[in-house]
Amino acid sequence: MSADAVPGAPETGPHETGFDQTLLFTVPHRDARGRLVRLGPVLETVLAAHAYPAPIRNLLAEALVLAAILGSLLKDPEGQLTLQAQNSEGVVDLLVCDYRGGEVRGYVRHDRARLDELGPAPTLHALFGDGYLAVTFDLASTGQRYQGIVPLEGETLAAACESYFLQSEQVPTLIRVAVDCTGAHPMAAGLLIQHLPEGEEGRERLHARLDHPEWDHLAIMGGSVRRDELLNPALSLEALVWRLFHEEREVRVDHGPPLVRGCRCTAEYYRQVLSRFGEAERSEMVDEDGAIKVDCAFCSRQFAITFDA
């Protein structure tokens, strides 16, 4: 491994990666890249914005990990990754998370009465029905947008993301996510490994296939990661990479930006949005106090927006 993650070192150390961080790694001779994310205080902050029931807390925690992992693949530091899962007729009719420059946020809209009828551990299909997942990459530097949409099939959001990469980008991908929201301090973590035999940029991936011998090896190694390893705060992300890939000739590691709760709501932002409406339309939105009340779904803050007469 590279000097940034010393094999054989203690499993925690002053320069090793813990909560609310992203570890980037590559296995060059196997044409592979990976990401590791572990959320702690940031996850707690996002979940605290709403009194989510347990199944929704778990769902949102998984989605936030996936947003952080997929967002860390962006080359554009000002780019944004958005995950949106929905079905207008589902118990959960909307889940949205996004990532931009280390900032993550997320929100779930659901029918509480219908959710309670499903029991304590509803399946993904029970929550969404025949819903879909949209994965959108917005590149600020070029103004380009790339979006792929896949059905919410399988048991987890992670499985749907694997399908997205295979179908939309022809990239064999393994994703593992672990969530523990049972205690006072929720945690969630995830691992992504991808095989890029034709390189990450500039070339069509004509030979990406699931039966590639290098990918078989990577999938076995990555798939061996355990839930307790992903969630263990005493095990740094560097140490976890070493556990999985210490027999490889070389593993290079790097660090993404620290992860923070990044709700971007401000009174000025909502004023700009509302200014696009005509004066007559805005007058219909004004309450008895002479203001237009706007609630941010992500953080539950309320803004009273006024306009000069």
What total of structural domains would you count in the chain?
Answer: 2
Same domain? For 146 and 283 the reply is no
Q: What is the pTM of this model?
A: 0.86
Same domain, 151 and 292: no
The confidence score (pLDDT) of residue 35 equals: 97
CA dist., res. 238 & res. 17, Å (int):
7
| All residues at 6 or more sequence positions from 55 whose CB lies less than 8 Å from its CB, including other chains | 115, 118, 120, 121, 122, 127
- pLDDT, one tens digit for every residue, the chain (309 residues): 443 443 444 444 445 667 999 999 999 999 999 999 999 999 999 999 999 999 999 999 999 999 999 999 998 889 999 999 999 999 999 999 999 999 999 999 999 999 999 999 999 999 999 999 999 999 988 989 999 999 998 899 999 999 999 888 888 999 999 999 998 899 999 999 999 866 544 344 444 555 677 889 999 999 999 999 999 999 999 999 999 999 999 999 999 999 999 877 777 877 887 888 888 888 888 888 788 888 777 777 777 878 875
Predicted local distance difference test score (pLDDT) of residue 241: 96
**Residue 226 pLDDT:** 97
Within this chain, do residues 292 and 197 fall inside the same structural domain, yes or no? no
Q: What's the pLDDT score for residue 5?
A: 41
Determine the structural domain holding residue 278 and report its residue range. Answer: 267-305
At 2, list the tokens: 């590279």
**Residues 282 and 145 grouped into a single domain:** no
The length of the chain in residues reads 309
- State whether 126 and 99 are in the same domain: yes
**62 within some domain:** yes
- At 282 the pLDDT is 83
Q: How far apart are CA 35 and CA 38, in angstroms?
A: 10
pLDDT at 6: 38
182 and 66 co-located in one domain: yes
Estimate the crossing angle of helix 213-223 against helix 237-245, to 10 degrees: 130
Are 291 and 150 in a shared domain?
Answer: no
∠ CA 227-125-223, nearest 5°, is 25
Q: Quote the pLDDT of residue 19.
A: 92
